[in-house]
Amino acid sequence: MKDKLLQVAYSQKERLPVKSGLIERDCMPLAKAALMSDNRVLVVTGMRRVGKSTLVQQLMATVDTFCYFNFEDEKLLDFTVDHFGELEETLIEVYGPAQYWFFDEIQNVKQFEIAIRRLQDSGKKIVLTGSNSSMLSMEFGSKLTGRYKQIELFPFSFSEYLRFRNVTFQEKDFYLPESKVMLKTYFMQWMEDGGLPEFLKYNDQEYVRTLFDNILYRDIIVRYGIRRHREFRELVQLLVSNISLPVTFSSLQRSIGFSNSDTVKEYMSYLSNAYVFFEMRQYHDSLKKQLRHPRKVFVNDIAFHNLVGFSNSQNLGRKLENAVYLALRRKSAELYSFYEKGECDFILFDEQRKPMAIQVCYNLNSENEAREMDGLAVAMNFFNLSEGLILTLDQDFEIQKNGKSIPVIPVWKWLIGNSNTSD
């Protein structure tokens, strides 16, 4: 094993030099702070190919001594947690004594948390990446509860997309006609392209389809031993085509033909663990009610919906809602829809449990204004809010109603203003 580890480590080290022109992610300030001033293990999680390894390489460029190892290598199929002692010796031989230890795709090693805790106890700063969210709650959390800091990485946000396209802007650009048209044009392109870095670089649509299929096969079908491939893929196709629409496990069971809804529930948890989809429940005063009512499902990158699912021009409002969900999900995992004599798309709770109500529609007009306003008003009254927010494609004004203030803001403008990731 030692010779194999040396071969892999030297090979990976040769490929490490950070290329110039890499995009700084919105979460980089938070990641740097966690690296430099936090003794806890730093864990970067997210879907495959969203840039976790690149982020790690950018972090490595900020420290003096480090070592790096990526477990996503076919030569390591027989690597177990018992080999970590040999790996530690290998990395010291390859990199020399190091204070910072970076491990990519750590979820490929069963019981890795045992070795990570030992390394942390020896005074090393550990940085991990993983493509499965359950590694925290199931494996990692059991051994290092309270001793890790998690950062979730997503495909490029709209602000990151603009940086990728070398587009710079100032606040005044929101008010200049030419600049507004430019930003809106890039926004519409982002809504088609999505934020997968390699797809944006090469513009190869087959890459998106192949990546999606690889995630389904490697991270879900193989990992969890799914045998009913056809039904599973039919479920995925249904979800990716119907983003933001309310669903229940029972309705999905009937649509696909599963024998019971528990199978659907299980498969959807696998998809969430792999960061392919996110589920958002309705807000209710009890968990039992939340579990019983319909939930909405959002896709991690709109390119999957555009190129893998069924998409048409009527989906524009749902695409906007998906974009808003992802922006809010970057800020907080506590997100709900709200339904009571009208629907409000999003209820967001901040760290102080202060709620915010947001409604999303493609265009606010005479046909839908009463419905959209009533749904928002009911949520605002329920949570005793004096302000709400409506996001549309291109409208910018403010509504005053019953003593409450409701700004109507273009989604692209709101996304730019909310791009910074907070702790």
Q: Any idea of the CA torsion for 139, 286, 373, 415, to the nearest 10 degrees? A: -10
pLDDT confidence of residue 315: 80
More confident residue, 148 or 142: 148
**Cα–Cα distance measured from residue 25 to residue 373, given in angstroms and rounded to the nearest whole number:** 35
Residue 33 lies in a domain: yes
User: Whose CA is closest to 30, among 143, 150, 167, 177?
Assistant: 150
Q: Which of 265, 288, 311 is the last residue of a domain?
A: 311
**Residue at token pair 């090693």:** 109
- Tell me what the mean pLDDT of segment 237-265 comes to: 95
pLDDT band at 137 (very low <50, low <70, confident <90, very high): low
pLDDT confidence of residue 314: 65
User: Whose CA is closest to 164, among 198, 208, 205?
Assistant: 198
**Cα–Cα distance measured from residue 231 to residue 254, given in angstroms and rounded to the nearest whole number:** 12
Q: Domain check: are 88 and 112 in the same one?
A: yes
Please, are residues 137 and 30 in contact by the beta-carbon 8 Å criterion?
A: no
Residue 395 lies in a domain: no
What range defines the domain where residue 184 resides? 158-188
Please, are residues 52 and 153 in contact by the beta-carbon 8 Å criterion?
A: yes
Give residue-wise pLDDT tens across range 296-355.
999 999 999 999 998 766 689 999 999 999 999 998 778 999 999 899 999 999 888 899
Residue 246 lies in a domain: yes
Beta strands in 213-372 (DSSP E): 246-247, 277-281, 295-299, 335-339, 343-349, 355-360
- Tell me what the mean pLDDT of segment 64-77 comes to: 94
Residue 97 lies in a domain: yes
- Tell me what the mean pLDDT of segment 282-300 comes to: 94
Least confident range from 243-252, 333-342, 377-386: namely: 333-342
Which DSSP letter does residue 286 get?
Answer: S
Q: Domain check: are 148 and 255 in the same one?
A: no
pTM above 0.85, yes or no: yes
- Tell me what the mean pLDDT of segment 17-30 comes to: 87
- Tell me what the mean pLDDT of segment 402-409 comes to: 92
Secondary structure percentages of the chain, helix, strand, coil, to 5 = 50, 15, 30
Q: Domain check: are 183 and 254 in the same one?
A: no
